[in-house]
Chain A
Amino acid sequence: MATTMITTLDRSSRAAARGLSDISIRNLFIIPTVLFLIVFNIFPLIYSLGYSFTDFRASTNAPANFVGLQNYRDLLNDPYVWSNFAITAKYVIISVAGQLLVGFGMAMLLNRDIPLKGLLTTLLLLPMMLSMAVVGLFWKLLYDPSWGVINYALGLGNFEWLANPKMALYAVALTDIWMWSPFVMLLSLAGLSAVPKHLYEAAAIDRAGPFYTFFRITLPLVAPILMIAVIFRTMEAFKTFDLAYILTTQPTAELISIRLYKMAFQEWQTGRSCALAYIVLIMVLAITNIYVKYLNKVKER
């Protein structure tokens, strides 16, 4: 770690002599956290990297045999795994696009003087604070074809949300949209309120139409913050496990995390699942990298 630093403490002062030096304080404050994260987050990953080259199964007492890249080769040739990735991609696109539309739309509606605006916003934020697992559970009741409230309210009769293989993924995405649109709304509201008022006034004086104002003023200024919402949600949607796992067992809605869970903890193909975990890990890190870049960009503004 660093050896250069700026200190505001005069080295010859009484206080400096009495207390710890700034370098030791900095090290004392930072190193334990970094070590903790290395031991509990990075070390396990190195451990599993090793297993990903073996045929190890945690369910037997047989020793692990080194198989080289066999696991990776098998996985990349497994049509089921590919279809899991395709399903995940589809899910991410549907749910993030839905959240963007609904969330940004609501933010546009809310971005005016409304009585009890603070209370309404807080109430709208409730869904995203809830447990995904428990939300999945009670949406099952709402989706029930025979006595679900959704079918009754929309007059859909016995429409099958989760039982129909073609519909199940959309149903999971719909629940995700319900949960996370408020998040996009919250970020959009922050973006919208930061748009300088005089720009709108100037546009009004120029008799600019609402479309012009929206596409030339509002959208470009809110875009960076919306981008954050999109990347963050993409990352989270890519990792989705609880919601889909609880809502449905349809093979057409088997996201990559569910496949990974099944491979690791139901079929106990430990070595193989470590390899799949690594493939997923690299993808997540790539998205995280983009995300952090954007975070820093927005921060600089």
Chain B
Amino acid sequence: MAAVRTSSEIAFNRVAIVAVLVATVIFLAPIYWIASTAFKPRNLATTIPPTVVFQPEISPFVKLFTKRSQLRTPPSPEEYAAAPWWERVVFDGGEKIVRDGKGQVQWSGYPSRFMNSLIIAITSTVLAVGMGTFTAYGFSRFKVKGEADLLFFILSTRMLPPVVVAIPMFLMYRAVGLNDSHVGLIILYTAFNLSFSVWLMKGFMDEIPKEYEEAALVDGYTRMEAFFKIVLPEAATGIAATAVFCFITAWNEYAFALIMTNRRAQTAPPFIPSQVGSGLPDWTVIAAGTFLFLLPVAIFTFLLRNHLLRGMSFGAIRK
């Protein structure tokens, strides 16, 4: 701001700082609320006034991972006493844990959906970033006729609304039996992320001085060797940032997953909202599922903080 500071400017500055702090609190409040609800006993989740101070519990997580059924009559004292602590927690909520024919505790659908999310997001990220890095190098170093049009074409595939693409994909996958399969969703997410990864990586590639490779070429490296030994290590940060962005996009994706998967390959986003409970809603369980699901993204946001701007603007704006 201005070099000369008047007292009114200093006062304004203070007000601005307070305003920023208040805004931050307001912006984080919803996230805090969902995180704290994940540790509440069920009866404190929907109180008025809202419960802020409470004894944290992990019962919502026990419920999140197990398949439960409403009890019409409370368990007998012996049954209750014989049960391990995590089962008692469920009894306390008026439910029991469902066991299978061999007496094994049945898992809820959550762990398998979480695993599906991991498998699909990681594999599609590897593919998209891998292919994207090569292509970005190609665009960055060689002259390609109609480069602007090709790049526009590549970007526009990313801008298509998911439902628009999902209708024909649904029919095509039906023909080849890829509906509700990991491979099917991986292909979709790779296609979706590939264009993004090309654009972002091209920005990173453009920043690596051509002279490095040229020096290597003079030293007798082939173009391939120069790419792998000189360019890739230089681009490592960019690749990592791109990968995290692709991972988050695939991790968060909802519409494709809703339409193209049902059970075997279903990911967490369409599954979590479906956990409304069988007789009464249990917001603590929904919050627990949400909390676990948001955690990786929150961590990645911190790791990525210096690259966010670049990622969100498709590599157009650099800091």
Contacts and interface: CB of A to CB of B under 8 A. Distances in A.
Interface stretch (B70-78, B100-108, B143-151, B235-243): B143-151
A14 interface: yes
Interface string A1-30: 111111011000111101110100110111
Contact of A277 (B150, B152, B163, B190): B163
Contacts of A34: 135, 150, 153-154
Interface string A115-129: 100101111111111
A4 to B, nearest CB: 6
Interface string B49-61: 1100000000000
Contact of A204 (B3, B17, B223, B312): B3
Most B Cβ at <10 Å: residue of A30, A45, A48, A142? A30
B139 interface: yes
Nearest to A106: B23
B144 A44 contact: no
B33 A149 contact: yes
A238 B162 CA distance: 12
A134 B1 contact: no
A51 B168 CA distance: 9
A130 B160 CA distance: 20
B222 A241 contact: no
A130 B294 contact: yes
Contact of B220 (A15, A152, A270): A15
Nearest to A288: B159
B228 to A, nearest CB: 11
Interface residues of A, number: 109
B69 interface: no
Contacts of A45: 160, 164-165, 168
A8 to B, nearest CB: 5
A263 to B, nearest CB: 9
B168 A48 contact: yes
Interface string B1-27: 111100000000100110111011001
B207 interface: no
B161 to A, nearest CB: 4
Contact of A37 (B195, B224, B313): B195
A203 B4 CA distance: 11
B177 to A, nearest CB: 15
Interface stretch (A73-81, A92-100, A165-173, A178-186): A178-186
B144 A225 contact: no
B163 A125 contact: no
A248 B149 CA distance: 39
A40 B195 CA distance: 12
Nearest to A259: B163
Nearest to A45: B168
Contact of A149 (B50, B131, B301): B50
B167 to A, nearest CB: 5
B157 A138 contact: no
Interface size of B as a range? 35 or more
From DSSP, what is the main secondary structure of chain A's interface residues? Answer: helix
B301 A112 contact: no
Nearest to A5: B143
Given A257-B161, A260-B163, A129 B300 contact: yes
Interface in A224-253: 225, 228, 232, 235, 238-239, 241-242, 246
Contacts of A139: 30
Contacts of B163: 241, 257, 260-261, 264, 277
B309 A40 contact: no
Contact of A26 (B29, B30, B144, B188): B144
Contacts of A47: 168, 171-172
Nearest to A201: B3
21 contacts: A6-B142, A16-B222, A19-B223, A25-B142, A36-B131, A37-B153, A41-B191, A42-B157, A48-B168, A114-B16, A120-B24, A123-B27, A123-B28, A126-B298, A134-B294, A152-B48, A200-B1, A203-B2, A204-B2, A239-B162, A241-B162
Given A15-B222, A128-B312, 12 more contacts: A4-B143, A19-B225, A40-B191, A47-B172, A110-B20, A141-B33, A141-B286, A147-B50, A242-B269, A260-B164, A273-B167, A277-B161
Interface of B: 1-4, 13, 16-17, 19-21, 23-24, 27-31, 33-34, 37, 46-50, 131-132, 134-135, 137-139, 141-146, 148, 150, 152-157, 159-172, 174, 187-188, 190-191, 194-195, 198, 210, 213-214, 217, 220-225, 227, 248, 251-255, 259, 269-270, 272-273, 283, 286-287, 290, 293-294, 297-298, 300-302, 305, 308-309, 312-314, 316-317, 319
